[in-house]
Amino acid sequence: MIQQWKSWKQNLGLKPHKTAGKTARLLTVTAVALGLTFGTGGYDAQASSTHTAKKGDTFYFLSKQYGVNLNTLMNANPTIEATNIYPGLSIKIPGTVSTNQASTAKPISNGTPVFTPSLNVYPEQKMVEAWGKNFNYSKTLSVKATAYSAAASENGGWGAVDYFGNALELGTIAVDPKVIPLGTKVLVTGHAHPGLPKKAFVAEARDIGGAIKGNKIDIFIPGSQSSVRQFGIQDIKLYIID
């Protein structure tokens, strides 16, 4: 959690509360892996290469960047969770370079347009479009948001796990269950941080915290405490999606 709220909790005598419980993993679908399929192209050989992840990289973005089918790209990296791509991670790019090219793939240069994150809201239809995917929503909620890292000091001594005992990952948010029930899926919008997908991303309420009361959420962001702390306090709009 950010430094401001940490100091408030200390002054109020509040302690974050997490209980390792259910071991079944809750499915978190995020805007970085929406199950869409795209055509391949850009290279004529089938040798694989390696991409070193940067801030903001997603399977969807890389599939557009390299002209690789999204499902093929994800299947080539079975040990990498789509919701937990972080800078420095090595990602296999299948069928993108010829055998006489360097081992590190370069973006396609055949005129394929760079993918631009999108967000469009259709209130009359109770639908929001994000990253080319349509979501039906039941209601919206304006909240104050902070962010937290996997550091033990920010997780009450329980380690980098959520309320259910699952590993923290991009797409995890801490909530006040009286306002947002645990297990609720939301589309997060209005945020700004290099460690989060631009425009919007899907998250799931899988964590709680002593200082998270009322219309407040805490967003897990992979990265160092100093980088996560840059998030500060932001006004966020949530779409409660079906």
Burial class (CB in 10 A: 0-12, 13-18, 19+), 234: middle
Identify the pLDDT of residue 104.
38
Q: Which long-range contacts (CB under 8 A, 24 or more apart) does 27-30 make?
A: 28/83, 28/169, 28/171, 28/172, 28/185, 28/202, 28/203, 28/204, 28/206, 29/185, 29/202, 30/82, 30/83, 30/170, 30/171, 30/197, 30/201, 30/202, 30/203
Identify the pLDDT of residue 48.
65
| Band (9; pLDDT cuts 50, 70, 90) | very low
Beta bridge partners of 236: 143
- The predicted-structure confidence for 64-118, as pLDDT tens digits, reads as follows 788 888 888 888 988 888 777 877 788 988 874 433 333 334 444 444 444 568 8
Residue written as token pair 């299948």? 94
Beta bridge partners of 64: none
| Band (46; pLDDT cuts 50, 70, 90) | very low
> Parallel, antiparallel, or unpaired for β 216-220 and 133-148?
parallel
| Band (51; pLDDT cuts 50, 70, 90) | confident
Beta-carbon contacts of 145 under 8 Å, excluding residues fewer than 6 positions away, are 188, 191, 216, 217, 218, 219, 231, 233, 234, 235, 236
Identify the pLDDT of residue 73.
87
Interval 194-202 mean pLDDT: 90
pLDDT of 27 strictly over 90: no
Do residues 217 and 174 lie in contact, with contact meaning Cβ atoms separated by under 8 Å? yes
What is the DSSP code (8-state) at residue 132? T
**Percent of the chain beyond pLDDT 90?**
39
Least confident residue range of 39-43, 93-97, 219-223: 39-43
Helix (H, G, I), strand (E, B) or coil at 74: helix
Identify the pLDDT of residue 98.
34
Helix (H, G, I), strand (E, B) or coil at 146: strand
Question: For residue 110, which amino acid is it?
Answer: N
Identify the pLDDT of residue 115.
55
Interval 120-148 mean pLDDT: 94
**226 vs 156: which has the higher pLDDT:** 226
Beta-carbon contacts of 75 under 8 Å, excluding residues fewer than 6 positions away, are none
